[in-house]
Structure 1
Amino acid sequence: MKLGHAIGFDDAPFSRTHRGNVRVIGTVYAGTTLHGVLSGVVRRDGANSARVLSELLMGSTFHKHVQLVFLQGVALAGFNVVDAFWLHRQTGLPVLIVARRQPDYGAVRRALLERVPGGARKWRLIQRLGAMQPVRGVWVQRVGLSLDEADMALQRFTVTGLIPEPLRAAHLIAGGVSTGHSHGRT
């Protein structure tokens, strides 16, 4: 598997009371060099994240070069759970979901089933991915690539800390665009 070019997506910070759209940033990397930025919006707790990410990538000039999609967690904008299998089919690209910590699946399940519209469907999407696995100090889920390939991707795209540059940069840009400054950990 070639791992020269990747895109990482993360959402912008938003308040607990926010309803409506949330900004999503994608950063395109060739190795460890930033080559482009994509921007779109997904619905808070909605169901359009995979479609929006696919449209952003496939509608860009970068889609011919990108070989891997990184996601900062399986959901954007609260509980807008990304259907990683659909995203993989639509783009033809492997999808690597990265988290700093393993989620509390019991709490996620309760929140989805008790408070989120379409929560049962979203919970099934998460279950279909299987348990997160530890790799290089982070937790991953993956579609379209092996655990060894996930390890190679993390090694290839990580420069500072444990989070790959496409996700780190998307996080920093999303924070800066929405709040006027970037801060915090990815």
Structure 2
Amino acid sequence: MRGVAWPTMLAGVARRLSNSIGIDDAPFDRAHRGDVAIVGVAFTRARLDGVVTGKLRKDGANATSAIASLVEGSPFAAHAQVILLGGITFGGFNVADIHALHERLDTPVLVLARKRPRFAVIRETLHDKVPGGARKWRLIEKAGPMEPCAGVWVQRAGLSLDQAAQAITDLTVHGKLPEPVRVAHLVAGGYGDGISRGRA
């Protein structure tokens, strides 16, 4: 990872995780066709440093490249130490390949959820109702199982479970989710609907 040695960083209090980018998608109508907005928020510890926006295809296959381009095109990319995703699917069933994202950005990727996803239901929906669903399900399987971690559930690429727990602890201020994911959700809600709705 650029400029950060995880074991050294996590061994002592002096070098805590500080720079992160949280990403979530904007809400959309079920009848919508075409692109869906995504929002990235950059944080230094619990301080919001900036917001970037992009788009990806609803139920498409470009989540990985869209997220990577959003990060790479931002002024925050060089300092990002971890990418936090508010789920592994964006814009409906556009599934991110978190290991490919980790390799392309050379930065750890952490997927977060409050509750353990109902993967059996997701698998059935993908196989029965979504074009290219089998390939998308393989990406979810490739990401690894959802694991309990610091009060939430995670999938991860490029960091250990202990490192994930440390990152969540360092970046959580309100509720269970780290600030970058919580704020990305709020900003994406306002961007898509004109007002933030739901729990963040």
Coarse TM-score class (shorter-chain normalised): over 0.9
Give the equivalent residue in structure 1 for 2:82.
Answer: 68
CA RMSD of aligned residues (A): 0.9
* Whole-angstrom CA distance in 2 between matches of 1:67 and 1:133: 21
Residues 1:22 and 2:22 are matched in the alignment:
no
Structure 2 match to 1:184: 198
User: Equivalences for 1:1-186 in 2 at 5 Å?
Assistant: 1=6, 2=9, 3-186=17-200
Return the offset for 1:136: 1.8
CA distance in 1, matches of 2:29, 2:121: 20
- Structure 2 unaligned segments of length 5 or more: list them: 1-5, 10-16
Distance apart, 1:60 and its partner CA = 1.4
Cα distance in 1 between the residues matched to 2:80 and 2:144: 25
Q: Displacement, 1:174?
A: 0.7
Question: Deviation at 1:152?
Answer: 0.4
TM superposition shift of 1:66: 0.5
Partners in 2 of 1:29 and 1:70 — Cα distance? 11
Larger Rg: 2
- Distance in 1 (alpha carbons) for counterparts of 2:136 and 2:193: 29
1:128-152 superposed Cα distances (whole Å, 9 cap, x missing partner)? 1221111122100100000000000
Moved over 4 A (4+): none
Residue deviations 1:69-109 (CA, integer Å, cap 9, x gap): 00011110010000101100100000000001111111100
TM-score, normalising length from structure 2? 0.91
Q: 3-state SS of the aligned residue for 1:61? A: coil
Matches of 2:170 and 2:98, distance apart in 1: 21
CA offsets 1:27-53 (integer angstroms, 9 cap, x no match):
000000000111001100001111011
Q: Structure 1 regions of 5+ residues with no counterpart?
A: none
Distance in 1 separating the partners of 2:112 and 2:37: 19
In 2, Cα distance between equivalents of 1:64 and 1:116:
36
Local SS of the residue matching 1:64 = helix
The alignment of Structure 1 onto Structure 2 pairs a total of residues equal to: 186
